[in-house]
Structure 1
Amino acid sequence: MNTSNLARLASIVGLSVDWTDAHGHLQTVSDQALRKLLAALGYPAESETDINASLERATEERDQALTGPLIITVAGDPCPLGDRFHRFSRCQITTEQGECIDTKLDYRACLVEPLPIGYHQLQIADHHLTLAVTPPHCQSVDSLAGEPHSRLWGLSAQLYSLRRENDGGVGDTLALQHLASRAAVYGADALAISPVHAMFTGLAEQYSPYSPSNRSLFNALHSAPEQVLGRAAVEQATRDCNLEEQMALLESRPLVDWAGVSEARLRLLRRLYDNLVAEQSELLVNFHSFCAEGGSALHQHACFEALHAHLHDEQGTQDWRQWPAAYRDPASETVRRFAREHEDEIGFHLFCQWLMARCLEQTQNASRAAGMRIGLITDLAVGADPRGSMAWSRQGELLRSVTVGAPPDILNTQGQNWGVAAFSPQGLQRHGYTAFIEMLQANLAHAGGVRIDHVMGLQRLWVIPEGASPAEGAYLNYPFADLMRLLALESWRNQALIIGEDLGTVSGGLREALAKNNLLGMRVLLFEQTEGGDFILPNQWPTNALATTTTHDLPTINGWFQGNDISWRHRLGQRSDSEARTDMQHRNCERNALSKALKIAGHCTADITSPENQLEACIGFIGCSPAPLVMLPLEDAMGIGEQPNLPGPPGGHPNWRRRWSESAEHMLDIPTVQRRLRRLALSRQASRTKASAGVDLRPAPAAQE
C-alpha cells in the first residue's frame, strides 16, 4: 500500500500524522490507527482503491468547504474574493444595521468598501453570502472595566450546589442572583458558573454538566420560575401538583438527588406552562415572541426533546442514531408530522427554554445593577453527547463516529475519552459556521463573559474512533483563524470577556495567539511550578491569563494540603497502597515548596502549618499577581476540603452533587469568609496600585535561597 497516499489523505482531511507528546517526544500515528480513524470520519482507507477514492472525495469536499457561505474579514482590511469572483464585479451589501450599499470589487477582486463590525449580507450576481466583519481582537478586561490596570476579581460557583429556601433540591438562578448581589457588596466584579447547557430531559442519570445534549440551549432544571412568573403562581402550582412535601425533602438533602429533582421540577414546570397558556397574559405574548425569534436551533431542540421522550417510552432507545430512519432526519416529513401532532409537548419544551433564558437575563441584569462590571461568566463545554439534540439537529456540522479526548500524558498514561462529539472542521465551513455562532451567541446572550473549556480545541482536538482506546486517536486540526475572528466578533457584539481554559498539553504558539487576540488564558496556583518543583512567585505570573487557586477537577486548597484527593483515589481503588504512599510523599514536597513560596512573597508571616493561614496566604498570593482577573472558587472562599468533581472512572465520589448547607444569600457573610474576601480585595488593590505606579517589587535573587 502507498503509505504516502495514506498520509496525504490524512493531511487533506485535517489529521496530524506526527505530534509531540507531554514529554516532548515526537510521536507518529500508526497506519493501522490512521486507517481506522479515517474510516470513522467517512473516508475508507483499507486498500489502495479505497484511498484513491477517498482522496478524490476529500479533495473535492475540502475545496467546497473553502468556498462556504460565510466570508470572514477583519474591519479595515481588504477582503479578497478572487477565488470566487472576477475583479470589478458589482456588489450589493445590506449591513446588519439595514444600510444598503452598491459597490464593486477592485482590480485585485478585493472588497474594499469600509463596513461596520457585524454580520452583513453580500450579493454578487446570483450569489448570496454572509460577510462577517470582525474587530482585530476580543474585548479585554480593562476595556470592559473602563480603566487601565483594573485588576478585577470574582468568584466561581457550581450552580447546582447553591442553596436557597424553597429551591426544591438544586441550585437555581434565584440563588445565583442572591450570591451575585452579595459578592458585589464585597467588591467582586464577576461570578463564573458551571455549564447551564441543555441536558436530556427526563434522563436524570445524565447530569454531568460537561456532557450536555445541546450547548446552544439551557438546562431548565436550574430556572427559578418565580423570577419570571411570580412567587404566588409558583406556590399555587406547587400545591396543585401536591409537591410541597416532596420538594421539601429534596431540599433537605446534602447531595442533589437528580432523579427526584428532575421528576418534581418537570411536573411543576408542566403545570406552570399549562397555566401560562390558559391565562393569555402579557407573559404569553413575550413567550411567543421568544419562540418566533428563536430560530431553527430552538425549535429543533424542542422537537428532539419531545421525540426523545416519545421514542424512549415506545422503543426504549436513548440514542437518536438507533431511531427509525425517518426520525433521524430533522427535516423529514415524518418529523414535521410528529411536530404538528405533538404541538403542545413541543410548546412545553419551548416554554422551558424561554423560562431559563429570562431567568438568566434577570440574574445578569441584577448582578450588573449590584455593581459588577462583568457579571456572569458562563462555561462552554468542549463537546456535546453524540446521542443528543445538537448532534441530531446539526448533523452536517458535527462529527458522528468519533469522540473527543486526550492522548496519553503524564497524569493519564492511558489517555482520556470524554465521550462527547465535536464539530466537523469542514462541516463548519460548509455551513457558514452556523452552529458555532449559535453556540457563542446563546452562551453570551445573558452573560458578561464565557470560559471555553479546553480552548486548545479551537486549534486541534484529539479524536478517537468509537469503541477504540484513546491511544488509537490522532489530532484533528480546525480553522483556528476563522474561529478566533468569530470569537472576537461575538465578544464585541456582546461586550463580553472570552476566557480559554489552556491547561494540559498546549501546542507551541497557541498561548501567544490567544494573548494577541485578548483571549485570557488560565493559571492555576497548584500547577504554577518550575521544572525543579519551586512554585512561581505571583509577580512572575503572566498578565494575559486569569489566576485562580484551583478548578472543579482539582482539590480545594485545604483538600490539597490535607491530601484528600490522594485519599479518595486510594479509597476508590484508582491508586494502590504503594502508589498512594508515593503520591503523599510527592505532595509533602509540594507542600513544603508552596509554603516556602508563600513566605518569600510575604503572604504568610504567621504559623504556616495552620490550615486557615495557608488558605488565606494562597488567596493573597494569587491576588497580588498581575493577572487582570482573579477568580476564587467558592469552595476556597468557604474553606472546605472536598472538591466538586474527581476525574476518573465513575462511581464512589459524589461528582456534581455536593450542595452547600448555607444559603447563597448569607454564605459570604460568615466572618471567616468575609476575612478571606477582604484579603483578596486588598491584594487586588495592591496589585492595581503597583501596576499603575509602574513599581517592580520582585524579590532579590538572594531572597529565594
Structure 2
Amino acid sequence: MGLKKLLYLQGVGAEFVSCSGDNIVTPEQDRIGILRCMLASAAQERCEPVMSAEQIDEKIYQLDAEPWTQRLPLFQHTRIDNPELSVFLPSDSDSRLTIELQLEGGEPFQLGIDTAKFAANPHIAKVTGHYHVDDCDYLHYRLLITQALLASDIYCGGSLQMSVLPDIGLGYHRVRIRDQAEFVEGQWLVAPVMSYQSGNTRSPSNSRLWGLSIQLFSLRSETQWGIGDFADLAALIELVANEGGSFIQLNPLHALDIANPQACSPYSPSDRRRLNPLYINFEMVPEYSQLFCDVEPNAAGATSSELAIKFKAIKRQVNRADWLDYQLVSLHKYRIFKLLYQQFIVAHVETNSARGQQFSLFITDNGDSLRQFCEQQLSDTVGLSEFSGLDSRFFAYLQFVAEQQLSQCQAQAKRLGMAIGLVRDMAVGVASNSVEVRADNSPFCQDASIGAPPDPFAPQGQNWGLTPFDPIALKHDGYQHFIQLLRSNMQSCGALRIDHVMSLLRLWWWPRSKELGNGAYVYYPLDVLLAIVCIESQRAQCLIIGEDLGLIPPEIVSKLAAAGVLSNDLFYFSKEGDGFTLPANYPADSLMMLANHDVPPLLAWWQADDLQLRRSIGLIDNDELLQSLISQREFDKQQLLKLLQAQGQFDGSDVNSIHYPELLKAWLAVTAAGNAHLFSVQLFDLVCDNQPINIPGTWLQYPNWQRRLALSLTELAADKQVQGLLLQLQTSRQQGVQSERETDAYARTHACTKANTTTTTSTHPNRTTSTPAHATSSLQPNGLPL
C-alpha cells in the first residue's frame, strides 16, 4: 500500500484510455521506473534500485502529511467570483487567528478572527478534509473571504478599520497566518474565471477571423541573410492586413542550441523564455547604419565601402538556395552581430545614452533567468571563432534587440487594424541540454523525456527527446518558472498557441535509462496551471489556443472550454464517419487549420507525394504498404470531392479531371466559410509547394525545418494566383458572417413566434411553460457547446 500511495502522490498514472477506447493498465514496474526517475532527479544522484519501507514512508510523509502541519500551502489559487483561502489548523484550535495579506501592488492589512467562529458559522469557513498526523487531528478550512472579512477585525497601517473592507482583486498576493504558532507564509493567487476573451467576441463583425500560418525562417526577401526575419514578418503583416486578414500564426520563436545550429527544430528549444537571434533583421538595428559611417577601418578591419561590398556578396551567397543552411547563416549573422554589439557598447553603453539606459533596465527587469541564460550561452560558445572576445552582455544585447523588433511587428499589425496580430506558439518541452534545464533550481526531471505511448500509428510509441517539468518540483518552485514561461511567450502577440495543451493535465514520460521500463503517464495540477494561464492571459490581453490534437483526456476538455481556451482542429483529421466534417459543424470556439508543420501540404496530399517521399526514405518499408496507403488516399480524395460537391463546387466532376489550382480555390471557398471562429491556411499551400516542412520521426533522412518559400515576398505580393486565393479567403469568411447573421435572424424570428404562441396557450390557468431544471446545452464530441 505504501508504494502505491507514493506513486499516486507523485502523479504517476496507473491506467489510461487508448485512442481506440481500450482501458490500458500501466505495469507496476514501469510506474516504479518513472518514480525512480523523479526521485533521482530530485536528489541529483542515482536512485537505488529498491526503496526501503522507511524511505517510502518518509517520502509519503513529506508529500501527504507534512503540508497539513504547515498551516498554509506554499502556493494556492482561488477564483475571483468566489474567493476562498485554505488554511490547515488543529481540530482543537481555539485561539485568535491572525491573517496578514499583502495584496499585489497594494497596501498590507491584517485580519483578526477567532477560530471558534469557524465551527459556529459555516458561512465563514467550511471544512473540506481532515488528517491525523503525529497524534493530532488537523482540519482543512476553506475561508470564504467575503464573509470572513465581515466577521473579522481588520487592521490597516496599524489602525482598526471599522467600515471599509479591503478590495481583494486579481493577483498573486502574499498571505501569512499565525495562531499560537509562528507566522507561516504562502502565495495566494486570485485568478479570473476565464482567459482573455475580448478578441474572441463572436459579434457579426468579429466572428470569422482569418490569417496565414508561416514558419518565419521560410520567408524569402532581397534584404534578408538567408533566413526569414522580423523585417520580412513586417512586410507580410502589411500584405495580409491589406487583404483583410486578422492574424499571422508563427512557429515557436524560441532560442535554440547556439553551439549546434543544425539542431534547428523550433519544438526542441534551448530556452522558451528567449528568442532566436537569427530572426533579427540587421537593417532594423540602429547600430547597423553606423557600421558604414567611418572611413577608417572598423573592428572588422575593413572600410565602410569594403564592408558594404562584402555584405552584398554574403547575402547573395546565403539567399541562393531553396533550403536553409543554418551553419552558414549562423556563422555570418553572429559575426555581424558582434560588430553591431561593439558599436552599441561604444555609442550607447559607454556614453550612458537613452538606448544604453533602456538596455540596462532590460537586464535588470529580466533578472536571474536572463543572467543565467547569457552565462550559459557564453560557456556554450567557448572556442567558436565568431564569439571570441565577447562577454555575457552580448547575448543580452541580442535578446534586447530581438524583443524590440518583435514588439514593432505586433505594433504594426495592430496599427494596420488586425484584430489579433501575431499568434505565437509555445513548445511543450525543451531539449535535454537546454539552458532551461541546466539553470539553477530548474523544476525539470532530467532522467526522463516526453512523448506518446504506443498506439496503432506508432507501435513503438513516440519519444520526443524533450525534458518534462517535474510536478512536485514545479509546486515547490511556486510555479515561478511556468509563470515566467507564459509571460515571455505572451509578449508582442495577440494570441498564444500552447503546443500539446494536454500537458497541463498529463504527459507521457519515457525513462532515459531503458532499464527503468517503458514509461507511464505523469499527472500535473491542471486547476492550478489553468488558473495561472487565465490570469497571465488577461494581463497580457492574449487569447489562448490549446493544441488538442491526438489522445485527449475527457477530464480536460470541459475545463479548457470553461476557461475560454480555443481548440485547434486540422482539416485532414476533422472527420464525421468516413467523410470530412461539414464546415457548418466546425466547433465555433476553435482555430481551424488546413494543415500544420507535421502533415503534408495540400498539393502533396492530393498527389500522394508525401507517401512516395516516405517510401523513399524508409518510413514506409515495403511497396505493398505503400499501395495500401495510396488506395486509402484515393478514398479520402473522393471524400474531399464529395464534400466540395455538396457545397456547390465541381458539379459532375471526378477526381482525375480536377486541376489542382481549382481544387485549392474550391477548398478555400468551402472551408473558410465554416463555423470556426479562427481560420488559418499555410502560406506554403497558397504558393502550391509540395515539400513538407517537417516529417515526424525523421532526423537525417529529410532536411526538416529548412524549407524556404519558392517565392520572395515581393513576388508573393505581385502573384495573381496568390492574390486571387487571398480574395477568395476573405470573401468566404465574409459569407460565413452573412450566413451567421441570417441564422441568427431566423432564430430570433422563430423565438418570437414561439414566444407569441406560448403567451397565447399559457393563458390556460392550469398550463405553465418552463425549462426543466435538468436541461443542459448540447455538446459536441470535443465537449464544446454546439
TM-score (norm 1): 0.88
Deviations 1:305-327 (A, max 9, x none): 112233x779xxxxxxxxxxxxx
CA pair 142-264 structure 1, distance change in 2 beyond 3 A: closer
> Does 2:370 correspond to 1:298?
yes
Determine the structure 1 residue equivalent to 2:139: none
Structure 1 residue 626: deviation in Å? 1.1
Taking the TM superposition and a 5 Å limit, the aligned residue runs for 1:622-637 are 622-637=671-686
From 96, 101, 108, the equivalent of 1:93 is 101
CA pair 244-6 structure 1, distance change in 2 beyond 3 A: same
Between stretches 622-631 and 65-74, larger displacement belongs to 65-74
Taking the TM superposition and a 5 Å limit, the aligned residue runs for 1:198-209 are 198-209=255-266
Deviations 1:140-165 (A, max 9, x none): 36546877752111111001101222
Secondary structure at the counterpart of residue 503 of structure 1: coil
> Does 2:667 correspond to 1:618?
yes
Between stretches 620-629 and 456-465, larger displacement belongs to 620-629
Between stretches 680-689 and 49-58, larger displacement belongs to 49-58
- Tell me, yes or no, if the aligned pair for 2:212 and 2:249 is still in contact at 8 Å: yes
Unpaired runs of at least 5, structure 1: 315-341, 699-705
- Tell me, yes or no, if the aligned pair for 1:555 and 1:641 is still in contact at 8 Å: yes
Determine the structure 2 residue equivalent to 1:337: none
Residue 453 of structure 1 aligns to which amino acid in structure 2?
Answer: D
Determine the structure 1 residue equivalent to 2:557: 511
From 83, 88, 98, the equivalent of 1:83 is 88
From 26, 31, 34, the equivalent of 2:31 is 34
Determine the structure 1 residue equivalent to 2:688: 639
Measured in 2, the distance between the counterparts of 1:678 and 1:697 equals 28
Measured in 2, the distance between the counterparts of 1:694 and 1:252 equals 52
Between stretches 17-26 and 221-230, larger displacement belongs to 221-230
Determine the structure 2 residue equivalent to 1:676: 725
From 651, 668, 688, the equivalent of 2:700 is 651
Residue 647 of structure 1 aligns to which amino acid in structure 2?
Answer: P
Deviations 1:245-278 (A, max 9, x none): 2333012221111001111111111111111011
Measured in 2, the distance between the counterparts of 1:348 and 1:68 equals 41
Secondary structure at the counterpart of residue 16 of structure 1: coil
Between stretches 631-640 and 383-392, larger displacement belongs to 631-640
> Does 2:429 correspond to 1:397?
no
Deviations 1:152-198 (A, max 9, x none): 11111001101222311111111111101110111111111011111
Structure 1 residue 292: deviation in Å? 1.0
Over the matched positions of the two proteins, sequence identity in percent amounts to 26
Structure 1 residue 697: deviation in Å? 11
- Tell me, yes or no, if the aligned pair for 1:225 and 1:359 is still in contact at 8 Å: no
> Does 2:569 correspond to 1:564?
no
> Does 2:23 correspond to 1:17?
no
Q: Radius of gyration: which is bigger? A: 2
Determine the structure 1 residue equivalent to 2:421: 375
Measured in 2, the distance between the counterparts of 1:487 and 1:223 equals 28
Secondary structure at the counterpart of residue 294 of structure 1: helix
Determine the structure 2 residue equivalent to 1:353: 399
Structure 1 residue 508: deviation in Å? 1.6
Measured in 1, the distance between the counterparts of 2:268 and 2:489 equals 16
CA pair 63-367 structure 1, distance change in 2 beyond 3 A: farther
Measured in 2, the distance between the counterparts of 1:250 and 1:187 equals 33
- Tell me, yes or no, if the aligned pair for 1:182 and 1:665 is still in contact at 8 Å: no
> Does 2:459 correspond to 1:413?
yes
Measured in 1, the distance between the counterparts of 2:545 and 2:724 equals 28
From 146, 161, 176, the equivalent of 2:233 is 176
Taking the TM superposition and a 5 Å limit, the aligned residue runs for 1:361-510 are 361-393=407-439, 395-468=441-514, 472-510=518-556
Determine the structure 2 residue equivalent to 1:689: 738
Residue 558 of structure 1 aligns to which amino acid in structure 2?
Answer: L
CA pair 234-480 structure 1, distance change in 2 beyond 3 A: farther
Structure 1 residue 627: deviation in Å? 0.8
Structure 1 residue 599: deviation in Å? 1.1
CA pair 19-45 structure 1, distance change in 2 beyond 3 A: farther
Determine the structure 2 residue equivalent to 1:278: 346
What is the aligned residue count?
Answer: 665
Determine the structure 2 residue equivalent to 1:69: 74
Structure 1 residue 654: deviation in Å? 2.0
Measured in 2, the distance between the counterparts of 1:501 and 1:470 equals 30
Unpaired runs of at least 5, structure 2: 41-46, 119-124, 126-142, 147-165, 748-786
Secondary structure at the counterpart of residue 121 of structure 1: strand
Deviations 1:351-399 (A, max 9, x none): 1111111111111111111111111111100100121100011544111
Deviations 1:587-616 (A, max 9, x none): 000110111011112344485622112212
RMSD: 2.8
Determine the structure 2 residue equivalent to 1:245: 313
Residue 711 of structure 2 aligns to which amino acid in structure 1?
Answer: E
Taking the TM superposition and a 5 Å limit, the aligned residue runs for 1:2-151 are 4-42=1-39, 46-47=49-50, 49-50=51-52, 52-61=54-63, 68-83=73-88, 89-104=97-112, 107=118, 108=125, 109-112=143-146, 114-124=167-177, 126-140=183-197, 142-143=199-200, 150-151=207-208
Residue 371 of structure 1 aligns to which amino acid in structure 2?
Answer: G
TM-score (norm 2): 0.80
Secondary structure at the counterpart of residue 472 of structure 1: coil
Residue 541 of structure 1 aligns to which amino acid in structure 2?
Answer: Y
Secondary structure at the counterpart of residue 345 of structure 1: coil
- Tell me, yes or no, if the aligned pair for 1:69 and 1:430 is still in contact at 8 Å: yes
Determine the structure 2 residue equivalent to 1:197: 254
- Tell me, yes or no, if the aligned pair for 1:68 and 1:431 is still in contact at 8 Å: no
Structure 1 residue 417: deviation in Å? 0.3
Measured in 2, the distance between the counterparts of 1:513 and 1:16 equals 20
Measured in 1, the distance between the counterparts of 2:291 and 2:723 equals 34
Between stretches 101-110 and 676-685, larger displacement belongs to 101-110
Determine the structure 2 residue equivalent to 1:317: none
Structure 1 residue 114: deviation in Å? 4.3
- Larger RCO of the pair (alpha carbons < 8 Å, separation 6+): 1
Deviations 1:410-463 (A, max 9, x none): 321211000001111111111111010100000011111111111111110000
> Does 2:265 correspond to 1:268?
no
Secondary structure at the counterpart of residue 27 of structure 1: strand
- Tell me, yes or no, if the aligned pair for 1:45 and 1:54 is still in contact at 8 Å: no
Structure 1 residue 298: deviation in Å? 1.1
